[in-house]
Copies of this chain bind each other. A is one copy, B any other.
Amino acid sequence: MIDYRIDRGSGVPAYVQIIEQTERALRMGTLRVGDKLPTAREVVAATAINPNTVLRAYRDMEQAGLVELRRGLGTFVTRSLARPEAESDSPLRQKVADWVARARDAGLERADVLALVTAALDVYDNEHDSTTPGDRERKKENA
């Protein structure tokens, strides 16, 4: 069961944080089609945010076609965003685990790690921008 963590004070709206964390779990395959999301009540208990806020996030994801709200039953994943390359035994995932460990062991904070990756993404995308015109989702995804 996905375990949401809300960072009040990050400036990012709570419902956006729920959506982001859900999408990440979908991409990682942690959450699969048919899986049940926690009830609003459960999220409230874990995060101290208001049930309406949770429902707002779930409703947004329903409109995006990711989940389905079934009255009286719960909220269920209806679409996968999983990538075979992101599976837990993939070499890509092994490698990033090694790299992250190295970075953290060297004293870098989570934010440093994410800054490094974002910078690397920017470099890659700039280089492949004019070359690969089909690659339109680049920059906009995580500006």
Contacts and interface: CB of A to CB of B under 8 A. Distances in A.
A90 to B, nearest CB: 9
Interface residues of A, number: 63
A24 B60 CA distance: 24
Specify the main secondary structure of chain A where it touches its partner. helix
B86 A142 contact: no
Nearest to A113: B121
A27 B105 CA distance: 17
Contact of A86 (B100, B116, B143): B116
Interface of A: 5-7, 10-13, 15-17, 19, 21, 23-24, 27-28, 30, 50, 60, 63-64, 72, 83, 85-86, 92-93, 95-97, 99-104, 106-121, 123-125, 128, 137-143
